[in-house]
Amino acid sequence: MSRLASGFLGFFLVLAVFLGGAALAADISLPAPTTQGGIGLFDALWKRSSAAGGDFTLAEVSLADLSTVLWAATGLNRGGTGYTVPMAEGLPPYVDVYVAGPEGVYLYLPKENLLREISAENIRAQIGAQAFVGKAYYVLIFVSNPEELGGLRNRDAAEEFAAVLTGAMTQDVYLAAAALKLGARYIHSMKEPAIVAGLKLPEGHKPLALMLLGN
């Protein structure tokens, strides 16, 4: 091989490593969630509320707080053998949590405590019926996962299981937000086609609810 060819080969190898590293860097490894201390459960219930639309101001929410809220929604507990919400028939989570923020859209992976990048597009203002949805620093999007739901013995009740799980997950978000002094609001009025496109959802994956998170 000529020196020129060797030089080009080396250049492209370095470029491939660089681009591969850049792609990996798009994912976000979240800091460990806060799982001890904080306010008591009954204090959190007392403070639990839906923030008014005008309360969301695009003020930054830290990754540490986001990690804690996501862990509360569907994180691993009991030494990594269970989840913070009940799963029917011991299945893995069959409702996925996506995070739409200023830097793009991510899928939360509870086992890895990782945000897997879906796109670098800011879709917050496009996915809710109310204009203030776009003013929340993070919008959590709850989506049923038919691949995981397919493991249920009672297939006819699959959608009901997903709806019940979403209720448990969003309540945990409310309680974690109250403990962290963050604003949270459940949103059911969504622009489903925009969500499906923005999240690049596979066929059959259905958006169920939004949760706004902000300061």
Which tens digit of pLDDT belongs to each residue from 17-35? 344 444 445 999 999 999 8
188: phi then psi, degrees, rounded to nearest 5: -105, -25
**Contact assessment for residue 130 and residue 189, using Cβ atoms and an 8 Å cutoff:** yes
Q: The whole model's pTM is what?
A: 0.86
* Contact status, residue 95 vs residue 74, Cβ threshold 8 Å: yes
pLDDT of residue 89: 82
Cβ atoms of 173 and 144 closer than 8 Å: no
Average pLDDT over residues 183-200: 96
Residue 115 region by backbone torsions, left for phi larger than 0, else alpha for psi between -120 and 50, else beta: beta
pLDDT in tens, 53-108: 989 999 999 999 999 999 999 998 888 888 999 888 878 889 999 999 999 999 99
* Helix, coil or strand: residue 114: strand
2 backbone dihedrals φ, ψ, rounded to 5°: -70, 160
Q: Quick one: which of 203, 187, 77, 75 has its CA closest to 142? A: 187
What pLDDT is recorded for position 154? 77
Position 48: which residue type? R
Query: Span 156-182, mean pLDDT?
Result: 93
What pLDDT sits at residue 1?
Answer: 52
pLDDT over 90 at 194, yes or no? yes
Q: Are strands 183-187 and 114-119 parallel, antiparallel or unpaired?
A: unpaired
Predicted local distance difference test score (pLDDT) of residue 78: 87
Which of these CATH numbers, 3.30.470.20, 3.30.565.10, 3.40.109.10, 3.40.50.1970, describes 31-214?
Answer: 3.40.109.10
Q: Which two tokens stand for residue 75?
A: 């994180």
Q: How confident is the model at residue 208, as a pLDDT?
A: 97
